[in-house]
Amino acid sequence: MLQKTWVRIILLMLPLAFVMCCIFLRDLAVYIAENILPPCDSYSHLGIYCPGCGLTRCILAIMYGRLWLALRCNAAVFCIFIAAMLLYAEIALLSFGKDIHLLPRKAWVWITFAFIAVIYLVLRNFIPEIMPPDIADFVFL
Protein backbone atom coordinates (compact mmCIF):
# COMPACT_ATOMS: atom_id res chain seq x y z
CA MET A 1 0.00 0.00 0.00
CA LEU A 2 2.86 2.39 0.80
CA GLN A 3 4.35 1.78 -2.64
CA LYS A 4 1.07 2.72 -4.36
CA THR A 5 0.95 5.93 -2.35
CA TRP A 6 4.42 6.93 -3.52
CA VAL A 7 3.56 6.11 -7.13
CA ARG A 8 0.48 8.34 -6.87
CA ILE A 9 2.46 11.18 -5.32
CA ILE A 10 5.14 10.97 -8.01
CA LEU A 11 2.53 10.83 -10.77
CA LEU A 12 0.77 13.89 -9.41
CA MET A 13 4.06 15.80 -9.08
CA LEU A 14 5.20 15.14 -12.67
CA PRO A 15 3.19 17.99 -14.28
CA LEU A 16 4.51 20.43 -11.67
CA ALA A 17 8.07 19.24 -12.30
CA PHE A 18 7.53 19.60 -16.06
CA VAL A 19 6.22 23.16 -15.73
CA MET A 20 9.07 24.13 -13.40
CA CYS A 21 11.66 22.70 -15.81
CA CYS A 22 10.04 24.66 -18.64
CA ILE A 23 10.21 27.88 -16.63
CA PHE A 24 13.74 27.48 -15.31
CA LEU A 25 15.37 25.99 -18.41
CA ARG A 26 13.74 28.02 -21.17
CA ASP A 27 16.50 30.65 -21.42
CA LEU A 28 19.07 27.86 -21.67
CA ALA A 29 16.95 26.17 -24.34
CA VAL A 30 16.77 29.41 -26.37
CA TYR A 31 20.56 29.82 -26.10
CA ILE A 32 21.12 26.24 -27.28
CA ALA A 33 18.64 26.66 -30.15
CA GLU A 34 20.22 29.89 -31.36
CA ASN A 35 23.89 29.09 -30.88
CA ILE A 36 24.56 25.35 -30.72
CA LEU A 37 22.02 23.43 -32.80
CA PRO A 38 22.96 23.18 -36.48
CA PRO A 39 20.48 24.25 -39.15
CA CYS A 40 18.43 21.59 -40.91
CA ASP A 41 20.36 20.11 -43.85
CA SER A 42 17.17 19.36 -45.77
CA TYR A 43 16.02 22.96 -45.59
CA SER A 44 19.49 24.47 -46.04
CA HIS A 45 20.37 22.49 -49.16
CA LEU A 46 17.02 21.62 -50.74
CA GLY A 47 14.65 24.25 -49.35
CA ILE A 48 12.30 21.50 -48.14
CA TYR A 49 11.00 21.26 -44.59
CA CYS A 50 11.69 17.80 -43.20
CA PRO A 51 9.31 16.20 -40.63
CA GLY A 52 11.55 17.48 -37.83
CA CYS A 53 11.71 21.07 -39.03
CA GLY A 54 10.14 23.31 -36.43
CA LEU A 55 10.62 20.79 -33.60
CA THR A 56 12.97 23.01 -31.61
CA ARG A 57 10.78 26.05 -32.16
CA CYS A 58 7.70 24.02 -31.18
CA ILE A 59 9.30 22.95 -27.91
CA LEU A 60 10.46 26.51 -27.17
CA ALA A 61 6.95 27.82 -27.83
CA ILE A 62 5.49 25.20 -25.48
CA MET A 63 8.06 26.14 -22.83
CA TYR A 64 6.92 29.76 -23.09
CA GLY A 65 3.25 28.81 -23.03
CA ARG A 66 2.62 30.01 -26.58
CA LEU A 67 0.57 27.04 -27.76
CA TRP A 68 -0.75 28.62 -30.97
CA LEU A 69 2.84 29.34 -32.05
CA ALA A 70 3.80 25.77 -31.15
CA LEU A 71 1.01 24.49 -33.36
CA ARG A 72 2.27 26.62 -36.23
CA CYS A 73 5.90 25.50 -35.78
CA ASN A 74 5.19 21.79 -36.09
CA ALA A 75 1.60 20.64 -35.68
CA ALA A 76 2.55 16.94 -35.74
CA VAL A 77 4.80 17.35 -32.70
CA PHE A 78 2.14 19.41 -30.94
CA CYS A 79 -0.40 16.62 -31.52
CA ILE A 80 2.06 14.05 -30.15
CA PHE A 81 2.51 16.28 -27.08
CA ILE A 82 -1.27 16.31 -26.54
CA ALA A 83 -1.41 12.52 -26.95
CA ALA A 84 1.38 12.16 -24.36
CA MET A 85 -0.58 14.33 -21.92
CA LEU A 86 -3.71 12.21 -22.44
CA LEU A 87 -1.67 9.03 -21.91
CA TYR A 88 -0.26 10.51 -18.70
CA ALA A 89 -3.81 11.30 -17.54
CA GLU A 90 -4.85 7.70 -18.26
CA ILE A 91 -1.93 6.34 -16.23
CA ALA A 92 -2.60 8.74 -13.36
CA LEU A 93 -6.28 7.82 -13.30
CA LEU A 94 -5.40 4.12 -13.45
CA SER A 95 -3.18 4.52 -10.38
CA PHE A 96 -6.31 5.68 -8.53
CA GLY A 97 -8.30 2.69 -9.77
CA LYS A 98 -10.16 4.48 -12.58
CA ASP A 99 -9.81 2.64 -15.90
CA ILE A 100 -10.76 5.53 -18.20
CA HIS A 101 -9.57 5.57 -21.81
CA LEU A 102 -8.88 9.06 -23.11
CA LEU A 103 -6.96 7.94 -26.19
CA PRO A 104 -8.72 6.03 -28.96
CA ARG A 105 -7.96 2.31 -29.14
CA LYS A 106 -9.04 1.66 -32.74
CA ALA A 107 -6.25 1.22 -35.32
CA TRP A 108 -8.12 3.17 -37.99
CA VAL A 109 -7.98 6.32 -35.83
CA TRP A 110 -4.19 6.17 -35.62
CA ILE A 111 -3.83 5.30 -39.31
CA THR A 112 -6.02 8.30 -40.20
CA PHE A 113 -3.96 10.50 -37.87
CA ALA A 114 -0.71 9.32 -39.51
CA PHE A 115 -2.17 9.93 -42.99
CA ILE A 116 -3.24 13.47 -42.07
CA ALA A 117 0.18 14.12 -40.50
CA VAL A 118 1.96 13.05 -43.69
CA ILE A 119 -0.30 15.29 -45.78
CA TYR A 120 0.38 18.19 -43.41
CA LEU A 121 4.15 17.62 -43.51
CA VAL A 122 4.08 17.74 -47.32
CA LEU A 123 1.68 20.68 -47.65
CA ARG A 124 3.61 22.90 -45.26
CA ASN A 125 6.33 23.13 -47.90
CA PHE A 126 3.88 24.86 -50.26
CA ILE A 127 1.47 26.87 -48.08
CA PRO A 128 3.14 29.89 -46.42
CA GLU A 129 0.55 30.12 -43.61
CA ILE A 130 1.57 26.74 -42.19
CA MET A 131 5.33 27.01 -42.74
CA PRO A 132 7.36 27.14 -39.50
CA PRO A 133 8.47 30.68 -38.61
CA ASP A 134 12.19 31.41 -38.31
CA ILE A 135 13.62 31.31 -34.79
CA ALA A 136 14.85 34.88 -35.34
CA ASP A 137 11.19 35.94 -35.68
CA PHE A 138 10.35 34.66 -32.21
CA VAL A 139 9.85 37.28 -29.54
CA PHE A 140 9.86 35.58 -26.17
CA LEU A 141 8.47 37.50 -23.24
How far apart CA 106 and CA 126 sit, in angstroms, is 32
Q: What is the residue range of 31's domain?
A: 2-137
pLDDT of residue 109: 92
Residues 2-52 pLDDT 10s? 577 888 888 888 888 988 888 888 888 888 888 888 888 888 888 888 888
72 closest CA partner among 122, 134, 28, 10: 134
The pTM for the full model equals 0.72
26 closest CA partner among 68, 56, 51, 1: 56
